[in-house]
Structure 1
């Protein structure tokens, strides 16, 4: 069934077309009475009138979070939980070292049709532009994780602004395109109300996490796949935001989170949860 707006627009289109045809016929019929000069002027004026659109164009709707208030509703907060009562969770992955586990992660996300948001440092984007484009091409969102992953408390205000701005430019220069989101994640998750206000002033909402799997520590740091899975499931609740990593530090190639992801996704489904895209916070 057509919507009322489309039906009304088409009735209006038909009426205007019939009116134009009728006027044209009358002008041609009275050409001898009016004279060629006046008739030509009137016909030219009629031809310059804009043609009606075939369908009514809806006015653009403002972005809205799940609470209906738009991106600004996320300002002033760390946003460690999505505001929902549904069994929904969001997956996020940080990248600052290497991309050792990326292919495995993207393959599993695609197999499960699960969206994710990847928070990349600008330095990582500069070193791995092909990775940035690969993530974007896979349909996932890209967030800002600063340029060099410093401790923000040790920087001046200008230094913090520079970290955010240069990371954003690096993502765009690498070919992130429309995958870039207005989301920022503080290095080491070290936030403060003042620093969040600074980030908000630059147009970014701070998105942290409910729980980190700690897979980034690797076996050298006492982590195993079982422990990473347990940490993710222990934090499970409506609106939980899980943090994982796509690479390993200090030249290591073992990525526990990449190995844990299939089990995490399987357990989420078994418990009645679905994975949502953080970008849904920006849509009505």
Structure 2
């Protein structure tokens, strides 16, 4: 998201969060992550940073998707990933998981990782510590209730990519590493916002570098069903591999003897 649009979103997000309903979650409802990942040295190495690029010199990239609106592009996205045998990580809000549990299960069944994107897509820089924890825990519970199972990762992505050191420490304290992105295709803006498939592809490729993390979106806001990122994905993936890059699974960052 560009800075001007980010500022406009931030101006509204406090009101939007107050109007949202975040389920209450007790400490006992928050489970640890599979295979002890939250205690791993590899995970702790990601703490204290917003992780906008993977630390490597190899020609590898990670493909990620956010989902907070609808699931209009999901089937096309999953088909494009499967056709090219490419892994991805999907950062879902808890609200999305509550409304689209079948989508959560579909992503997990396809073998992709699932990350936490808060419950209500709140602006964390305008929340207190207790509310921040509530957002993360509520999303974690919603994903589990929707059937995320072993696809869950100890990865968190801040709504609007609004991070600061304090909020990152709070998320780390809950056992999550913050994984942001090198670039967003901005496909979520749609044709109404001046975006096209060509523009989305260009933005992804302009950011191509060793360890780049690409951000796309599963659906479209305000009830729209046109998903530019779903249309752009095949061209992005083909161009990435055509330039000698390999798409890796973000979960590989958790391996004790990680190599990309």
TM-score range, shorter chain: 0.7 to 0.9
Distance in 1 between residues matched to 2:96 and 2:36, nearest whole Å: 33
**Which of these residues, 180, 185, 194, is aligned with residue 222 of structure 1?**
194
Counterpart in the other structure of 2:114 = 142
Q: Does 1:109 align with 2:81?
A: yes
**Offset of 1:243 from its aligned partner?**
0.1
Cα distance change of structure 1 residues 70 and 254 upon mapping to structure 2, 3 Å threshold: same
Structure 2 stretches of 5 or more lacking a match? 1-34
Counterpart in the other structure of 1:252 = 224
Contact 2:69–2:96 (CA under 8 A) maintained in structure 1: yes
Contact 2:124–2:159 (CA under 8 A) maintained in structure 1: yes
Counterpart in the other structure of 2:143 = 171
Cα distance change of structure 1 residues 203 and 69 upon mapping to structure 2, 3 Å threshold: closer
1:93-120 CA-to-partner distances (Å, cap 9, x unmatched) read 0000000000000000000000000000
Aligned CA-pair RMSD: 1.5
Counterpart in the other structure of 1:261 = 233
Contact 2:37–2:154 (CA under 8 A) maintained in structure 1: no
Question: Which structure is larger by alpha-carbon Rg, 1 or 2?
Answer: 1
1:226-257 CA-to-partner distances (Å, cap 9, x unmatched) read 00000000000000000000000000000000
**Which of these residues, 226, 249, 257, is aligned with residue 277 of structure 1?**
249
Q: Does 1:152 align with 2:115?
A: no
**Offset of 1:143 from its aligned partner?**
0.1
**Offset of 1:154 from its aligned partner?**
1.8
Contact 2:201–2:235 (CA under 8 A) maintained in structure 1: yes
**Offset of 1:269 from its aligned partner?**
1.1
Counterpart in the other structure of 1:196 = 168
Cα distance change of structure 1 residues 94 and 63 upon mapping to structure 2, 3 Å threshold: closer
**Offset of 1:156 from its aligned partner?**
1.4
Structure 1 stretches of 5 or more lacking a match? 1-60
Show structure 1 runs of 4+ deviating over 6 A: 61-64
Counterpart in the other structure of 2:180 = 208
Counterpart in the other structure of 2:158 = 186
**Offset of 1:155 from its aligned partner?**
1.3
Counterpart in the other structure of 1:119 = 91
Cα distance change of structure 1 residues 183 and 62 upon mapping to structure 2, 3 Å threshold: closer
Contact 1:62–1:70 (CA under 8 A) maintained in structure 2: no
Distance in 1 between residues matched to 2:128 and 2:238, nearest whole Å: 44
Q: Does 1:70 align with 2:67?
A: no
Task: Output aligned runs, 1:1-16, within 5 Å.
Answer: none
Counterpart in the other structure of 1:98 = 70
- Higher relative CO (Cα under 8 Å, sequence separation at least 6) belongs to 2
Task: Output aligned runs, 1:70-89, within 5 Å.
Answer: 70-89=42-61
TM-score between the two structures when normalised by the length of structure 2: 0.83
